[in-house]
């Protein structure tokens, strides 16, 4: 028995979304080895375009991770956080809470800025928090799916930078429809995914 869908499905949720026919055709192309020179060119092309999409500054690094949004987040957290790293996590809903738990699992000493669900984080609140809680990393969600709240990540990332912290922005939900949070002054590390446009 095949587990592949036998009828077309129309996906109208916040993600995954419908895949463009051009992408479907590309996925039916012959398999390329991960060691094939063509694969290197392909990955370089994807990385270059990702940087442009994010409005990233010259010299920025864009990486394509083959996996879900969670795997992208975990890639960033695992590389920026270690045992005892002081980290502030802005929690404006379910995914902010999950991000705080992820940082804790990687050993960070997490302090949370808990914001009433349904409201965005005010940059002044973060500034006051960081003055009292020195942090090497500030993590936040751009568009908090569980509440529909859009956090002002540019301003929050600026505040984090002024306090000497690197910023992680979970842009899983919104990259294609909101101005890029990674443009000049924003998130130092900004994972997003392709299936939620």
Ligand X SMILES: Cc1ncc(COP(=O)(O)O)c(C=O)c1O
| DSSP per-residue string spanning the chain | ---S-SS-----SSSS-PPPHHHHHHHTSPP--TTSHHHHHHHHHHHHHHHHHTTPPTT------SS-HHHHHHHHHHHH--TT-EEEEEESSHHHHHHHHHHHHTT-EEEEEE--TTSPPPHHHHHHHHHHS--SEEEEESEETTTTEE--HHHHHHHHHHTT-EEEEE-TTTTTTS--TTSTTS-SB----SS--
Rule CB under 6 A: choose which of 17, 19, 60, 68 binds ligand X.
68
Q: Which is nearer to ligand X, 147 or 163 (CB)?
A: 147
- Stretch of residues binding ligand X (CB under 6 A), selected from 27-35, 52-60, 64-72, 77-85: 64-72
In the complex, the smallest distance separating the C-beta of residue 92 from ligand X, rounded to whole angstroms, is 10
Residue 193 as a binder of ligand X (CB under 6 A): the answer is yes
**Applying CB under 6 A, what is the total number of residues that bind ligand X?**
10
Residue 175 as a binder of ligand X (CB under 6 A): the answer is no
Residue 95 as a binder of ligand X (CB under 6 A): the answer is yes
In the complex, the smallest distance separating the C-beta of residue 58 from ligand X, rounded to whole angstroms, is 28
Residue 194 as a binder of ligand X (CB under 6 A): the answer is no
List residues binding ligand X (CB under 6 A). Answer: 68-70, 95, 141, 145, 170, 172-173, 193
């Amino acid at each position: 028995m095949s587990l592949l869908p036998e009828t077309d499905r129309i996906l109208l949720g916040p993600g995954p979304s419908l895949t463009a026919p051009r992408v479907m055709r590309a996925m039916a192309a012959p398999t390329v080895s991960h060691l094939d020179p063509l694969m290197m060119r392909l990955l370089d092309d994807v990385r270059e375009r990702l940087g442009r999409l994010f409005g990233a500054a010259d010299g920025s690094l864009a990486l394509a991770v083959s996996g879900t949004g969670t795997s992208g987040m975990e890639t960033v957290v695992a590389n920026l956080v270690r045992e005892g790293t002081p980290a502030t996590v802005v929690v404006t809903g379910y995914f902010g809470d999950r991000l705080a738990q992820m940082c804790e699992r990687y050993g960070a000493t997490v302090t949370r800025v808990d914001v009433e669900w349904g409201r965005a984080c005010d940059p002044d609140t973060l500034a006051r928090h960081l003055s009292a809680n020195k942090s090497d990393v500030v993590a936040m969600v751009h568009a908090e799916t569980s509440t529909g709240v859009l956090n002002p990540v540019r301003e929050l990332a600026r505040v984090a930078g002024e306090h000497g912290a690197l910023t992680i922005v979970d842009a899983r939900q919104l990259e294609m429809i909101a101005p890029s949070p990674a443009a000049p002054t924003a998130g130092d590390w900004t994972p997003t995914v392709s299936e939620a446009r």
